[in-house]
Amino acid sequence: MPDPSTASRRPLLSGNWKMHQNHFEAIQFVQKFAYLIGKDELADVDVSLHPPFTDIRSVQTVLESDKLGYALGAQHCHWEDKGAFTGEVSPAFLEKLGVDYVICGHSERRELFGETDEMVNRKVRAIIAHAMTPILCCGETLDERESGRTEGKVLGQIRAGLAGVTAEQVAAMVIAYEPIWAIGTGRTATSADAQEMCAAIRACVAELYGASTAAGVRIQYGGSVKSGNIAELIDQPDIDGALVGGASLDPDEFAKIVRLGR
C-alpha cells in the first residue's frame, strides 16, 4: 500500500470501466490514452485504470512494457485466497498480476449482487492483506437522501467497512463517496453537497482513528463525473479525486478529466 506520508491527498483519478471493453479494446484505450497523458501530466496526480478481469493481464503488459505511470486496478474480488467459489476472483491472483487498487463495495455490487457491509469489510481486509489498496465505496439512494438518511447510511457503511482495520492502514486507503442516484444518470451532486459528505466522512474517520489518519485518507467523489464538473469538484478541500465511470471509457474525455483534476 502507498506510504501515506508521501502519497496521501494527491488526487487519484480512477477509471472504472465496469463491464465494458474487451481486451483488444482495453489495449487500444491504454495506447491512445498514453499519447494524451504522459509522465509530465502525472507529476502531481495519480491515475488508476480498472478494466474487467479478462483485460487485466493485457493492460498490465502494456503498462509494464511501455513503462507507463498509471496504476492497475480491479473492480472487486472475493475475500478468500482460494476455494469453491465458482466465478469469483481471489485477491491473491490480483496481487500476482501487480494490481494496485481494488474497488470494493461499489453500489452496483451492493444493489445488484447483494453485497453486505460485512462482506465489504472482509474484502477490505483481504485486499490490505495482499498489499493492495482498497477503494471503499459508500453512498445513498435518492429515497434515503430525500428522507434525510444520507449521513446515517453513508457513515454506517464507513464504520462497518473499516471494522478491524488499523489506523495506519486506513490512512493509506481510499474512500469513494458515490451517491447512488447520481451514478450513470447524468445527475451530479453539487460541489457543495459532495464536499459536505466528504467532509462528514473525514470527520467520521477522525472520530474512529484520530486526526492524523483522517488527514491521510484520500476521499474520491463518484457519480456522473466528467470534464465539465471535475475542476469544481476537485477544488473542494475534502475531495481528493474521482471514481469515474462512463466518462473513463473515452480516452479523450478521461484525459481531459485527468488534466483538469490535477
Q: What is the pLDDT of residues 49-80, one digit of tens each?
A: 999 999 999 999 999 999 999 999 999 999 99
Distance, in Å, from the CA atom of 158 to the CA atom of 137, rounded to the nearest integer, reads: 8
Higher pLDDT, 149 or 37: 37
- Tell me what percent of the chain is helix, strand and coil, each rounded to the nearest 5: 50, 15, 35
Give the residue numbers marked as catalytic.
Answer: 106, 178
Residues 6+ apart with CB under 8 A from 145: 179, 181
Better-scored residue on pLDDT, 172 or 1: 172
pTM of the model: 0.94
Domains of the chain: 4-260 (3.20.20.70)
Which are the contacts of 62, defined by CB distance < 8 A and separation ≥ 6? 27, 30, 31, 68
Core vs surface per residue 144-182: b (16+ CB within 10 A) or e = bbeeeebbeebbebbebbbeebebebbbbbbbbbbbbbb
DSSP 43: T
Cβ-based neighbour number of residue 115 at 10 Å: 18
Residue with the three cell numbers 445527475: 187
